[in-house]
Structure 1
Amino acid sequence: MHSSYKWIVLFGAFIIYLFDALEIAILSFALPAVSQEFGLEPVQAGLLATATLLGMGFSGPIMGWLADNRGRKFALIVCLIVFIALTAAIYVVPNFGVFIVLRFVAGLGLGGVWSIISAFVVETWPPHQRGKAVAFVLASFPIGGVAAAQLATFMMPNWRLMFLIAGLSAALPLLIAIFLFKESAVWQEERAKREPGENANLNELFKPGIARVTIFASLVATAAFVAYYGASTWLPSYLETERGLEPHAVGQFMTWLNLGMFAGYIVFGWLADKIGKKNALLIAMFGSGVLMPLYGIVTDQSVLLWLGPLYAFFMTFAGLFGSYLGELFPTRIRATGAGFTFNVGRGISAFAPMILGGVAAATSFAAGLVVAGLVFLLGGVFLLFLPKAPSDVKAVTETSTLKGVKTDA
């Protein structure tokens, strides 16, 4: 395959995941107006976010199986069509119940994109560049959040039209997937080795030798996403109600926070290729675990302004998961394994906003951030039980071998 194709995959995947992030983030900006129109209490409104995350949780095994058995490109196109159609359909949603169903089904498409584009990049880029490549692609997530904020600025309170525009605009990544992406050559090679009618299945994730990886990778992802969604859902409320920021200032703080996260994705992607994907992920998890509670304790607004991007800088686990988790599973079940572990975490995290909201109700939002930080630290402990990425082990071995080779002067 021509070397220029890897760049098509890189930038195409960046755009695709940016739109995926936009479709996920846009709900939070619409909730106030949606709640007003349908007369929803906060708990009911929160169910819309829960439904989305649950759909994303189920998407891991479903879309991962599809990608491993029917092809990366086919599964990616299915994901995009699902979330385009279901997001645009919200324009005519008649009631709250239908809204929940639409968000759940849209989540099936939204959640599947991550594992598929991660597999595309892992199977297209050489091992020594995968960390940077995958992290760059997944760095589009905070940019998608910024795009959602800007779209909301222009469209709200017309939330119906906002969902319609967001859904239809995702035709761009769909066209990229259809016309620019080729089926993964690595997947095709592995698929050709199977017996006719033989498919990879979910049971393979729990076979001896793989089960341990599946379990601990799921625990790491669960801890990371519970902490992330539990905290990020309430960050605007924390800044406004407990730290006295005006609503427009909250938007500025969140923009800087997302930019800090974007920078972190890029730097940690580079770091992953230098010190290993697992080591970089450990730094990210423990860094988030230390700085998030600090963000909850600080009361000075000027300190919060610069501390936000700093703590978000370390919150790059999703980008590192892309290259790390994908390598922990063989090609045959790569999308299934990475998608399952990643989205199990996202699915369970659907309940995190309610749990940390309960903590906040009993104590404070600041206390909720401290709890979230402790959960990040727990995820770092779980990570210690996982192996290094195979490409990192190979790189270390090759480096050691080269150091032992004497050359003629």
Structure 2
Amino acid sequence: MKMGLFTNASTMLMEKSCPIPEPFRAKAGTIFFLAGLFLINFMARFILAPLMPFMEQELHITHAQAGSLFLFMSLGFSAAQFGSGFLSSRLTHRKALILSAISVGVALIGVGFLRSLAAIFPALVLLGLAAGLHIPSALATMTAMVQRQDWGKAMGVHSSAPTLGLVIGPLLVAALVGVISWRTLLLCLGILSLLAGVAFLYFGKGGDFPGDAPKPSALKQIIRLPSFWLIISLFIMALGGSIGLFTVLPLYLITERGLDRTYANTVLGLAQISGFLSALAGGWFADRIGPKRALSILLVAGGASTIFLGVAGDSWLLLFLFLQPAVMGAFFPGGFSALSRIAPTHLRSVVASVAVPIAFVVGAGVFPALYGYLGQTHSFGLAYVLAGSLMLSGPLFAFALRFVEHDQEGC
């Protein structure tokens, strides 16, 4: 093997103290702990979506400016994911996870105190930087400790965290805003992230091995893989049709469809329950029929439901509000399982630290900005129709994926 592909703080990959992969049941506690960290990590970023009507009113910003908030945050998030390999190779994945949780708390508390849009933009970049350290290290930790045949289950639990966050976030806003300010809500969530990081420091297990910094030799090998670009395209579609869509959905329901703020956030939170349940089932679905088929089916169904979400009349709107997240929530366990199979084991964390940030900055950053622009100049409904149409091409990308023939477990 080429030495350039094995890099960490001071030793080669073969000298890592890697865990012995075990069945999912034996590591379920750690997987759920990681999912809890991811839940808080996600909510810290996307609680802004249901808060956006209140922020628009207080800060006097337009739909386009509101959408751009998520673009700035995604830039920091993606930069951190790309550089996470450098950090985890010098610390360990465990320490990177702790640093992420604590830093997210500090950054979110800072956002809660800021009073101008000009100050909030760089603070959101810092929040994204802190949050972006989680996924590469969590993915490497889970695939190292869990047997390959159970990856779908582990990914299913971990990937259910964002969909659960999409449930809790709007419901929290509906219940608490009016009792406390949106700034106080951010401060409370920031404190929770700090406490979670400290709890993982004392009670969390797993990830006690360094990551691999993305050296040029490893990057050259990755970017030459057609499947690398295919999986990025699939994730862009899924993120743009789920998280990206969610960022402006409260504005769509309130300003374009005329729903009351409290009612809109309540319905939005309840609608995301279907996405949470389907995320848990998504890992089983991908293990059952294979990632390629699962991703194809889910993107076609998700694309169709996204289109109908943009054009449905009032009597059908509630149906598609519940159906669309159910379909898209099931995508990510199979998506991360597929991502883990397109390159050899020693490049797995490098692939995640490069592919996910590229997809995220487009799907959860550029897409919300475009949604906001189209919502201001035309309509949010048109934006959803265009996004759904793009997702219908998903099977062309999914079936072209090529997996490593002899996949390996461990780190």
Fold shared by both chains (TM-score > 0.5):
yes
Instruction: Indicate yes or no: 2:312 matched with 1:298.
Output: yes
Match of 2:344 among 330, 334, 349: 330
> Matches of 1:370 and 1:179 in 2, distance apart?
47
CA separation of 1:102 and 1:238: change in aligned 2, threshold 3 A: closer
Q: Percent identity?
A: 22
- SS at 1:234 equivalent: helix
Aligned twin of 1:24: 45
Contact 1:60 1:341 in 2 (8 A): no
Partner of 1:340, secondary structure, is helix
Cα offset, 1:293, TM superposition: 0.9
CA deviation profile, 1:294-317 (whole Å, cap 9, x unmatched): 22222143x322332222111033
Among candidates 182, 191, 202, match of residue 159 of structure 1? 182
Moved more, 10-19 or 40-49: 40-49
3-state SS, counterpart of residue 133 of structure 1 = helix
Question: 3-state SS of the aligned residue for 2:401?
Answer: coil
One-letter amino acid of the structure 1 residue matched with residue 228 of structure 2: T
Within-5 A mapping of 1:161-310: 161-184=184-207, 187=209, 199-201=213-215, 203-207=217-221, 211-301=225-315, 303-310=316-323
> Cα RMSD between the aligned structures?
2.8
8 Å CA contact 2:339, 2:352 repeated in 1: yes
In the alignment, the residues of structure 2 paired with residue 46 and residue 244 of structure 1 have an alpha-carbon distance, to the nearest angstrom, of 19
**Residue in 2 that maps onto 1:378:** 393
Cα distance per residue 1:86-109 (max 9 Å; x no partner): 111223325322211111011012
Q: Distance in 1 between the 2:158 and 2:272 partners?
A: 15
**Contact 2:137 2:207 survives alignment (8 Å):** no
CA-CA distance at 1:343 after TM superposition: 1.6
1:122-159 deviation line (CA, Å, top 9, x unaligned): 22111111102211121021212333234333145622
CA contact (8 A) 1:135 1:323 kept: no
Specify whether residues 44 and 241 from structure 1 end up closer, same or farther in structure 2 by C-alpha distance, changes over 3 A only: closer
- Separation in 2, partners of 1:56, 1:151: 24
Q: Which runs of 5+ in 2 are unaligned?
A: 1-19
Give 1:30 deviation, angstroms: 3.2
SS of equivalent residue, structure 1 residue 184: coil
Aligned pair in 2 of structure 1 residues 214, 200: CA closer, same or farther (>3 Å)?
Answer: same
Indicate conservation of the 8 Å contact 1:213/1:328, yes or no. yes
* Residue of structure 2 equivalent to 1:407: none
The letter of the residue matching 1:59 is A
The 3-state SS of whatever aligns with 2:125 is helix
Q: 1:339 aligns to what?
A: 353
Shift in Å, 1:244: 4.2
Is it true that 1:352 corresponds to 2:360 in the alignment? no
Cα deviation, residue 328, structure 1: 2.5
Q: How many pairs were matched up?
A: 384
How far is the alpha carbon of 1:252 from its aligned partner?
A: 3.1
Aligned to 2:4: none
Give the direction of change, closer, same or farther, for the CA distance of 1:388–1:276 in structure 2 (3 Å limit): farther
Per-residue deviation at 1:166? 0.6
Shift of 1:182: 3.6
Give 5+ residue unaligned stretches, structure 1. 192-197, 395-409
SS at 1:40 equivalent: coil
Residues 199, 114 of structure 1: alpha-carbon distance in 2 compared, 3 angstrom cutoff:
closer
Please tell me whether the aligned partners of residues 69 and 200 of structure 1 are also in contact (alpha carbons under 8 angstroms).
no
Residues 20 and 144 of structure 1 are in contact (CA less than 8 Å); yes or no, is this contact kept in structure 2?
no
Distance of aligned partners of 1:116 and 1:171 in 2 relative to their CA distance in 1, 3 Å threshold: same
Give the Å deviation of 1:381: 2.4
CA contact (8 A) 2:271 2:321 kept: yes
Residue 314 (structure 1) aligned with residue 327 (structure 2): yes
Tell me by how many angstroms 1:68 deviates: 4.8
TM-score normalized by the length of structure 1: 0.84
2:68 pairs with 1:53: no
**SS of residue in 2 equivalent to 1:143:** helix
Q: How does 1:82-121 map to 2 (within 5 A)?
A: 82-121=103-142
